[in-house]
Structure 1
Amino acid sequence: MTDRASRAAAQWAVARPDLDLPPMEALGRLHEASILVARERQAPLYARYGLQHGEFDVLATLRRAPSPDGLTPTALYEATMMSSGGMTARLDRLQKAGLIERTPHPSDRRASLVRLSAKGLELIEILMPLHMETARDVLAPLSGEEQATLNALLARLIGGLCD
């Protein structure tokens, strides 16, 4: 396999044969896979509906939220792993597009709740099956067992990083 990670590892093997290269190579592949999935597979799908990845993520987070009243912007940015400033800008764009509604929080005058509008709900209902189809297509080169192993290994890696 001659992907960028293997080419970089081969070059480092010559320049610094003393280095333990497999960890760098694995992380390089993980990073490249993430970029390729986001740029080549997901971005075109979301763009067809006038969205960016982060906006899709907000709509999907609101759709799966347990409360029909919505989520606070803080809960949204924590669930989507983005900054509060980035979340505010996304919410502004989504509200302008008519995909979300902001309402006052019933018990905290300083806070608000964000929920899907009817238009936002309709859009995420269309997009989720397409998003899942894209995920299946991305992982199609792996067998079901390999996908389960990859999922388990990534969960262990993330768990180890969060300890």
Structure 2
Amino acid sequence: MEDEVDRLVVAWQRERPDLDVAPMQVLSRISRLAVHLDRARREAFADHGLETSDFDVLSALRRAGSPYQLSPGLLVQQTLVTSGTMTHRVDRLVSKGFVERLPDPADRRGVLVRLTDAGRSAVDGAFGALLDREQRLLADLDADTTGLVADALRTLSLPFDATVPRPSRPS
């Protein structure tokens, strides 16, 4: 079997035999798969009235566990966006009724962002739809191959993850 990346690699090897194009075998495939995954994510989220950025915030709150709330600072850490971007996202989610801002009892000047019942329903539905689409994307892989791919990608991503600050658990 030959895919588009195989054809690209052969063409580059022909045109630039002086360069080692071996990284393209892995990274071009990851890039192409990312496009397909992004499309699947957008479709799954749109079916539940969410943008990808909405899902990122709502899923961070959902994963926090009951009472499904985090400080804006922890949301920034977990979603890797600026505080200004987070403010905009939270404002949009408040207007949709998916989150609410509450005073932080531990810090009189602080606020907490809490998932509403509507937000929980939206993120749970979107997450289920996303998993369905992701399972279809991986349908041609058996469990052993899926594990091998996951292990290889983990090895590849660990050095990058090491440069990202780890969020602390909310109190």
User: TM-score scaled by structure 1?
Assistant: 0.89
SS of the aligned residue for 1:82 comes to: coil
Alignment: residue pair count: 161
- Find the counterpart in structure 2 of residue 25 from structure 1: 25
Structure 1: gaps (5+ residues):
none
SS of the aligned residue for 1:111 comes to: strand
Identity across matched positions, percent: 34
SS of the aligned residue for 1:109 comes to: strand
SS of the aligned residue for 1:37 comes to: helix
- Find the counterpart in structure 2 of residue 101 from structure 1: 100
SS of the aligned residue for 2:102 comes to: strand
RMSD: 1.7
Q: How far is the alpha carbon of 1:67 from its aligned partner?
A: 4.9
- Find the counterpart in structure 2 of residue 112 from structure 1: 111
Identify the structure with bigger relative contact order (alpha carbons < 8 Å, sequence gap 6+). Answer: 2
Query: Residue 90 in 1 paired to residue 92 in 2?
Result: no
Q: How far is the alpha carbon of 1:23 from its aligned partner?
A: 0.7
Counterparts in 2 of 1:85 and 1:25: CA distance versus 1, 3 Å: farther
Counterparts in 2 of 1:134 and 1:69: CA distance versus 1, 3 Å: closer
Counterparts in 2 of 1:46 and 1:160: CA distance versus 1, 3 Å: same
The structure in which a higher percent of residues are helix is 1
Structure 2: gaps (5+ residues):
163-171
Residues in 1 aligned to 2:56 and 2:76: alpha-carbon distance in whole angstroms = 10
After TM superposition, what 4+ stretches of structure 1 lie above 4 angstroms from structure 2?
Answer: none
